[in-house]
Amino acid sequence: MKVLYAQSGGVTSVINASAYGVLDEAQKAGLEVYVGIHGISGVLRENLLKINGKDIEGLKYTPSAAFGSCRRKLKTQKDINKLFEIFEKYEIEYFFYNGGNDSMDTAWKLYTEAKKRNIPLKVIGVPKTVDNDLPHTDHCPGYGSAAKYIATAIMEATLDLRSMYVDSTRVFVMEIMGRHAGWLSAAAGLGWLNGIGADLILFPEVPFNKEKFLERVDESIRRKGYCSIAVSEGIKYPDGFFVADMGYTDSFGNRQLGGVGFTIAGMIRSELSLKTHVAIPDYLQRSGRHIASKTDVDEAEAVGRQAVKLALDGVSGVMVTINRVSNSPYKVEYGTVELNKVAEVTKYLPDDFHTDFEVTEEYIEYAKPLIEGELFPKFKDGLPVYTIFKEVEE
């Protein structure tokens, strides 16, 4: 029996821990294992790598997509037919797709096509996204580590600001990923657990009110002399237009966003005459494995292993979910949800997790267990050692 695994969408610092979970569990079951290089795009090109016998232990400590990712939707029957020709050629009986909303749509299409053809292909979705916006799961592997990175970065940057504001920068702005949901920007408020965090957070769920925002910045300046701000890339005006729309779309049809931090800083400079500084963590926040959460790493591996167990039990057409049982002590169980209930659906930051500019105690209680613990990679010559497969280079 043969397995095919592939990675898709924006990467995380723990997606390879899920890969390790899938690949190791499948090999333990005596299966022949392949991975698609660069997701479904690589599978369509028949760019597959056989894993059996390779050293994969380091995947648990390696960020980004070790086997390459892609941003591709299945839009044509021609592509679907091509995939099934490849599945048949390699005698693939189990397909695991590791990704987010759009990736689950791809997995759903393959599952329904297999049913239509009466082919016993088992398709399981393995959740992944730093955005934490997949529905029907308490949280997503990748989020805890990205949240930990953001919380730490805003703490350190705010301490820098606090040290220098007297005759230098008065306002620090950090632009954070998050097109529609404010889960990542909310993490900028977690630093208050240890005494310092973002003074203001701009969430995509809250329509941007320039006047109200500037009033809050001015109040912070008058009260303590400086202001630290976290802004989601996806904030919108009340009319629904993105504050930082770049004017074109990506291959998934999403409007491309960029520069909202500079836009916000420009408003502050022009209206309040304050010196500002802008930082854009960008890829750093999603691939910061050196500061990953142990909870996140462990759960990422666990959902991969659970996916294989489900498939071997004959389950198909579902994504693995993480269901929180308790906060104290923190405990989760693993379940499933039908792929079509996740595909292209967004879970927003709940109203009780935030106000207009701050996170609430409810959010902090939710997020705190997800950022706990450390599982550092090995270091050599002062730098982390990461696993790189030369076969991924094209």
**Where in the sequence numbering do the catalytic residues fall?**
131
Sign of the alpha-carbon dihedral angle for 229, 235, 236, 238: negative
* Eight-class DSSP state of 253: S
Task: Give the β-pairing of 255-257 and 245-249.
Answer: antiparallel
Please indicate if the annotation marks 276 as binding a ligand.
no
Please indicate if the annotation marks 286 as binding a ligand.
yes
Contacts of residue 283, defined as CB under 8 A and 6 or more positions apart, other chains included, come to none
Please indicate if the annotation marks 152 as binding a ligand.
no
Please indicate if the annotation marks 129 as binding a ligand.
yes
Please indicate if the annotation marks 298 as binding a ligand.
no
Whole-number Å distance between alpha carbons of 358 and 179: 18
Contacts of residue 198, defined as CB under 8 A and 6 or more positions apart, other chains included, come to 154, 158, 174, 188, 189, 191, 228, 229, 230
Sign of the alpha-carbon dihedral angle for 324, 326, 327, 332: negative
Give helix 210-224 / helix 260-272 axis angle, nearest 10°: 70
Please indicate if the annotation marks 305 as binding a ligand.
no
Beta strands in the chain (DSSP E): 2-7, 32-36, 48-50, 92-99, 122-127, 171-176, 200-202, 227-232, 245-249, 255-257, 276-279, 318-327, 330-338, 379-380, 383-384
Please indicate if the annotation marks 30 as binding a ligand.
no
**Tokens of residue 249, six digits:** 């779309």
Please indicate if the annotation marks 260 as binding a ligand.
no
Which own/partner contact pairs does 81-89 have at CB distance under 8 Å and 24+ positions apart? 82/44, 83/40, 83/43, 83/44, 83/110, 84/113, 84/114, 84/117, 84/119, 86/43, 86/44, 86/46, 87/4, 87/119, 87/121, 89/46
Please indicate if the annotation marks 177 as binding a ligand.
yes
CB count in 10 Å sphere of residue 380: 8
Please indicate if the annotation marks 285 as binding a ligand.
yes
Q: How far is CA 99 from CA 34, 44, 244, in A?
A: 17, 17, 26
Please indicate if the annotation marks 246 as binding a ligand.
no
- Residue numbers belonging to the annotated binding site for substrate: 129-131, 177-179, 233, 283-286
Residue stretches of the annotated binding site: 10, 101, 129-131, 177-179, 233, 283-286
